[in-house]
Amino acid sequence: MVNKLGQMKIQQMIFMVLAVGLLFLLVGLIFLSVAFRNLKESATNLAEKDSMLLVSKLANSPEFSCGNAFGTSRINCVDFDKLMALKENIEKYSSFWRVAKIEIRKIVPSSEVECKKENYPNCGVIKVLDLQVDSLTSSSVFISLCRKEVNEFGFYDKCELARLVVAAEDKT
Partner 1 sequence: MKLKIKNKRGQIEIPFTWLFAIIVGIVIVFIAIYSSSRLVDVGQKTTNVQTGKEIQVLLNPLETSFQSAQTTSITIPSETRINNKCEDFENFGRQGIQLDQKNLGKWSNTETSTWTNNRYIFSDNITEGKKFYIFSKQFNFPFKIADLIYLTSANEEYCFKDAPQEIIEEISILKQENLYFENCPQESITVCFESGPCNISVDYSRGYVKKGTDFLYFAGLDDDSTALMYAAIFSDKSIYECQIKRLSVRLKTLSKLYLDKEDYLSEKGCETNLQSDLIDLSQAEIQNSEGFQSLQENVNIMNENNDGRICSLW
Select the residue interacting with partner 1 from 81, 160, 169, 170 (CB under 8 A): 81
Q: Is 153 in the site for partner 1 (CB under 8 A)?
A: no
What 3-state class would DSSP assign to 149? strand
Select the residue interacting with partner 1 from 4, 89, 132, 153 (CB under 8 A): 89
Select the residue interacting with partner 1 from 97, 103, 145, 165 (CB under 8 A): 97
- 58/63 Cα distance (integer angstroms): 8
Nearest approach in angstroms of CB 67 to partner 1 is: 4
- Number of residues in the chain: 172
Q: Can you state the percent helix, strand and coil of the chain, rounding each to 5?
A: 40, 30, 30
Judged by CB under 8 A, which stretch of 104-112, 128-136, 150-158, 159-167 contacts partner 1? 150-158
H/E segment holding residue 31: helix 2-59
Site string for partner 1, 108-147 (x = CB under 8 A): ------------x---------------------------
49 with 166: CB under 8 angstroms?
A: no
